A and B are shown apart, each in its own frame.
Chain A
Amino acid sequence: MISEATTKAGTGLPVRLEGVGVQFPPGDRPVEALTGLTLDIPAGSLTVVIGPNGCGKSTLLRVVAGLLRPAAGRTLIGEGAPTEPRAGDGRVGLAFQQPRLMPWLTLVDNVALPLTLAGEPVAGARTRAHRALERVGLAEAAELRPSQLSGGMAQRAGLARALITDPPILLLDEPFSALDALTREAFDGELQRLWMDRPRTVVMVTHSVGEAVRMADRIVVMTARPGRVAEIIPVHLPRPRPATLAGDPAAAAIDAAVRAALAEVHPPELTPWLDR
C-alpha cells in the first residue's frame, strides 16, 4: 500500500493533467468530451469542478481514475517520478454519482469489497468495514441490504467504500446529488470534517455553486463540451466552514465570481433563458 505513509503525513498525491483530450465513441464520428484540458491539482487540496451539463466533468474523474485512456495528452499522478493512472492501482478512491452497491450483499460486505477483492481475509476486512461505516454514521445499518436503505444512506455507504482503502486521492462525482438541500449541507460538513481529520487530495464534481463555495480550496470552472478549464477561482475562507455561508461577504463575492464564470461558458442556446 503506497497510500498509508503518504496519507498519514497528510498530503495525498498531486495530479497533473496535460492537454488531455477524450472522444466518444472512439469510432467514426466521435463527440469530443474533453479537449486540451490542462490542470494541476496540488497534493492535499480540495478541488471542486463545476461546469455546464455534459461538459465532461465525470469524464475528467474517469481519466484520473485510469478508467479511461485519453486520446490526447497525458495524466500524471505522484511526486518525483509521477506515473499514469491505471484502474485499480490503489491510488484513487471513487465515489460515484449512483452509489453502485451490490444488491445481494449486506452493507458491510459492500463496503469491504475493495479489501476482499485485494485478497484481504474476510474477517479483517469486515472489521475495517464496520469502522468505516461508523465514520459515516451507518454503524447500525451494517447488516442491511441496499434495497433497505434510503438514497442518502446508500450514498454515504458509497463514500465509506471509497475511503476504506485510505487512498491518497479521493474522487467524488456528485456524491450527494440525490439529497435534499439541508441534508446535503450536513453531508458536506461531514465530508469537510473527514478531510480535515485526514487530509488527502480530493476532487469533487458538483452542479451546485453553493456546495462548491462551501467545500473548495479552488473551484475549477469548465467550458461547455468539449470541456477545457475556463477559470480557476481560489477560495480562501477559513475552515471549518459552516453549513451555510449566507451573509458572508467574502463567500458572496466568490459565489458571484463562479456564477459569472458559468454564465460565460454556458452553451449559446441556453444564454437567452439565463438572461431572463
Chain B
Amino acid sequence: MRRVATTLASLAAFVVAWKLLTVVTGTPNYILPAPEVVAERAVRAIGSGLLWEHTAVTLSEILLGLAVGAATAIAVGTALGKSVVIERVLSPYIVAAQSVPILALAPLLDIWFGGGLLARVLICALIVFFPIAIATMVGIRSADPLLLELFRSLGATPAQRTARLEIPSALPVIFGGLRVGVTLAVIGAVVAEWAGASSGLGVLINIANQGLFDTPLMFVALATLAVIGIGLHGLVVTVERRLTVHP
C-alpha cells in the first residue's frame, strides 16, 4: 500500500513539474506538449484503436525477441561459463556484435532475413542477448567450490552438476541480466521497426514526428513504450522473487 502511494506521489510530482515547465517556458505544443494535451491525444488514439493496433505489433516483437534472445543467451552463457576454450573462441565475436551499433546493423539484418517479423525478432533478440549471456557466464562460475566438491563426492554427473548446482547458483545473477535485457528488448523492437516495418510503435513515432507533426501522438507512443518496459521489468522482478531464495 505504502509502496503504491510512493509511486503515485512520484508520478504526480513528475506530471506537475512537466506542466510547470511548459507554462513557464511557454513552449508550443509541437515542441513540448503539455501533459493534458498528451492525455487527450492518448484517449483519442485508444478510442480509434490506433494505439492498440501498433502496440500489439511491438509487444509481440518484444516478447518473441526476448524469448529467443534470453533462451539463446542462457544456453550460450552456460557453455561460456563451463568452458574456458569456448569462451576464448566465442567471446571476441560476442563482444564485437555488441559493440557494433545496432542502428547500423538493423537495416542489413532486415534485408537478410526477409524484412518481416522474423527479421525484427532477430534484431530484438540480438540486443537482448549480450547482458543475459554475460550474466549467465558469470553466474555459472560463481558456484561455491565447496558445493562443487560435495557434488563430486556424491558422484554427480556433469549434467547433474550443471542442472542442480551451477544453474541454481547462477539464477540471481541471470535475473540481473534479464532485468537489463527486458528494457533493451523495447529499444530493440523500435530500432527493428525503424529499419523497415509498416506498423508498430516505432513506426507510429516516425509517422507522428515526421509525417503528421503530431508531437502529442509521438509522446503517447513513447509513454506506451515506457509502460511496456516498466511492466516487463516488474514481471521479471516478480518471477525472480518467486524463484530465488534470499538468504
Residue numbers of A with Cβ under 8 A of B are 65-67, 87-90, 92, 94, 96, 98, 100, 102-104, 113-114, 117-118, 145-147
Contacts and interface: CB of A to CB of B under 8 A. Distances in A.
A145 B245 contact: yes
**Which 8 pairs show the lowest CB-CB distances between chains A and B?**
A88-B155, A147-B247, A104-B245, A100-B150, A87-B152, A114-B154, A117-B156, A103-B247
Nearest to B156: A117
B118 interface: no
A88 B153 contact: yes
B151 A117 contact: yes
B146 A100 contact: yes
A90 B247 contact: no
Interface in B44-97: none
Given A104-B168, A117-B154, A118-B155, A98 B146 contact: yes
Interface of B: 144, 146-147, 149-156, 160, 164-165, 168, 171, 244-245, 247
Contacts of A114: 154
Nearest to B243: A104
A71 to B, nearest CB: 19
Contact of B155 (A100, A117, A146): A117
Contacts of B156: 88, 117
B173 to A, nearest CB: 13
A65 B152 CA distance: 10
Given A100-B147, A104-B168, A87 B153 contact: yes
Contacts of B160: 117
Contact of A67 (B147, B153, B244, B245): B153
Nearest to A92: B153
Contacts of B247: 103, 145-147
Contact of A102 (B149, B152, B153, B168): B168
Contact of B245 (A66, A100, A103, A118): A103
A90 B245 contact: no
Contacts of B155: 87-90, 117-118
B154 A88 contact: yes
Nearest to B146: A100
Contact of B149 (A67, A92, A103): A67
A50 to B, nearest CB: 23
Contacts of A87: 152-153, 155
Contacts of A100: 144, 146-147, 149-150
Contacts of A66: 153
A140 to B, nearest CB: 20
A54 B160 CA distance: 33
B162 to A, nearest CB: 13
Which of B153, B168, B171, B244 has most A Cβ within 10 Å?
B153
Contacts of A88: 152-156
A96 B150 contact: yes
Contacts of B165: 102
Contacts of A117: 151, 154-156, 160, 164
Contacts of A118: 154-155
A148 to B, nearest CB: 9
A94 B153 contact: yes
Nearest to B149: A67
A88 B157 CA distance: 10
A239 B244 CA distance: 47
A67 B154 contact: no
A143 to B, nearest CB: 13
Given A96-B146, A103-B247, A65 B153 contact: yes
Nearest to B165: A102
19 contacts: A87-B153, A87-B155, A88-B155, A92-B153, A96-B146, A100-B144, A100-B146, A100-B149, A102-B165, A103-B245, A103-B247, A104-B168, A104-B245, A118-B154, A118-B155, A145-B245, A145-B247, A146-B247, A147-B245
Contacts of B150: 94, 96, 100
Nearest to B172: A104
A102 B147 contact: yes
A66 B153 CA distance: 8
Contacts of A90: 155
A118 B150 CA distance: 14
A57 to B, nearest CB: 16
Nearest to B244: A104
A103 B144 CA distance: 11
B15 to A, nearest CB: 42
A145 B244 CA distance: 12
A199 B212 CA distance: 88
